[in-house]
Chains A and B, each alone.
Chain A
């Protein structure tokens, strides 16, 4: 192909739409350091961006920013008060699920005391946790490690994934627990970091639609407090595909 013909095809090339034979020819030509055609490729990328940017504006839901930040392991700052709320939720949900051990009666008494203090916040929590009662919410236990944290995973295709765990190991300073969604045959995706309560229980919630069919497992690992992109030390795994 001559340069003129190639220049006519650079937009389609940059969009990945050429037939393999045409693509191969252009690849080779560009590798041959043809200056005008390489410059043409930049122009094609710029024009493609302009065309892509000309779509009608569709405002995303507000929650999307939080999801995007959680996706890269960052908790938005305004989660400060939500953190408190999450701690409260942890206690309520832990009790509700009956995961507290009987011998920890003293902890239970403390927890009851906490509940009394947070009843006013409970209405808000109920909204977040309402889906637990829905028949379609899928429930799976953590397990598999030698001394596994106990707990449950709740997956709701429309609302998100909630984990409630107890018996968590003590965290070294500067560390946090991180939740991971592991697609079948895929790499773990970070789903938010969380700190345990004093009694070693914890809760984390990632909201938004979940593709249950492709979700293979949910895991918890120990990571630096700001979170990681890949899990470092996995301490609990729940096989959401198997049950």
Chain B
């Protein structure tokens, strides 16, 4: 586990959850689909803290985060039937459901994009979260991601955070940052490209 020594504690914890649990999740997913009453406790033990951390990062309110974690796991419980227990990745799916609940909450409280909820709903279809490359969620990639973040400029980091943790479209970012849309699009495109290329190198 020497790789972990390079990572700050919180980051190491979170990435470990995503990267290392990936391969162990098949049995859990199978029991989830069979509605085994004991499985939710284990699923929570595995992903509850990560889901809470992500949601709390978005909504920055403990009470709201608790509600949304509860909603996240209820949604996972209710929709597990379409999850592919052979080739599916539970972690990415749960994280996506958790983020979408949090973003949906942000949008509803500040009156943005009322029609966005349906779109988010479609993008967390459990069937999407299968057939990842074996290396897609490797710990090496997790380490690379941290390095890649350090290569981003302050503006690039900011737009990435606005996209992932505040759910702003590029047009909304341009308004928020009082920058031309073209400039924002360049920041976003360059930042994503940097992250993507860094991860691709890890997979190679």
A interface residues with partner B (beta carbon < 8 Å): 8, 11-12, 14-19, 23, 41-43, 45-61, 64-65, 67-69, 71-72, 74, 76, 189, 208-209, 211, 226, 229
Residues A74 and B133 in contact in the complex (CB < 8 Å), given A15-B164, A56-B11, A60-B49: no
Chain B residues in 8 Å Cβ range of A49: 18, 89, 91-92, 95-96, 137
Report the nearest A residue to B60, measured CB to CB. A58
Q: How far, in whole Å, are A45 and B133 apart by their CA atoms in the complex?
A: 11
The size of the chain B interface, using a CB distance under 8 A, is 74
Q: Select B13's contact among A51, A57, A68, beta carbons within 8 Å.
A: A57
Q: Which of A43, A69, A76, A211 contacts B136 (CB 8 A)?
A: A43
Name the contact of B146 in the complex, choosing from A54, A74, A189, A211 (C-beta under 8 A): A54
Contact B123 A72 (CB under 8 A): no
- Chain A residue with minimal CB distance to B50? A53
Q: Are B53 and A55 in contact (CB under 8 A)?
A: yes
> Across the interface, do B132 and A46 meet the contact criterion of CB distance under 8 Å?
yes
Given the known interface contacts A50-B137, A51-B145, A68-B48, the answer about A58 and B53 at a Cβ–Cβ threshold of 8 Å is: yes
A148 to B131 CA separation, bound complex (whole angstroms): 53
| B15, CB-defined interface residue at 8 Å | yes
B residues in contact with A45, CB < 8 Å: 92, 96, 128-129, 132
List 10 A-B pairs, minimum CB-CB distance, nearest first: A49-B92, A46-B136, A60-B52, A57-B10, A53-B18, A56-B10, A209-B63, A55-B57, A71-B70, A58-B56
Partner of A68, one of B9, B69, B99, B149: B69
- Which residues on the A side are within 8 Å of B17 (C-beta)? 53
Q: Which residues of A contact B44 (CB under 8 A)?
A: 65, 68-69
A18 close to B133 (CB less than 8 A): no
User: What's the Cα separation between A59 and B65 when bound, in Å?
Assistant: 11
B125: min CB distance to chain A, Å: 11
Assuming A45-B132, A49-B89, A52-B164, is B137 touching A69 (CB within 8 A)?
no
B15 touches A16 (CB 8 A): no
* Residues on B with beta carbons closer than 8 Å to the beta carbon of A72: 40, 73-74, 77
How many angstroms from the CA of A180 to the CA of B23 in the assembled complex?
36
Q: Is the CB of A209 within 8 A of B132?
A: no
B18 near A50 with CB under 8 A, answer yes
Contact check, A15 vs B167: say whether CB atoms are below 8 A apart. Answer: yes
Q: Does chain A have a CB within 8 A of B66?
A: yes
**Can you pick out 27 interface pairs between chain A and chain B where the beta carbons lie within 8 Å of each other?**
A8-B193, A11-B192, A11-B196, A12-B188, A15-B164, A16-B100, A16-B116, A42-B133, A45-B129, A48-B164, A50-B137, A53-B18, A53-B91, A53-B95, A54-B145, A54-B149, A55-B165, A56-B11, A57-B49, A57-B50, A60-B52, A60-B69, A69-B40, A69-B41, A69-B44, A71-B71, A208-B67
Knowing that A11-B192, A65-B41 are A-B contacts, what are 11 other residue pairs whose CB atoms are under 8 Å apart, sorted by A's residue number? Answer: A8-B193, A15-B123, A50-B145, A52-B54, A52-B96, A57-B13, A60-B65, A60-B69, A68-B69, A71-B74, A72-B40
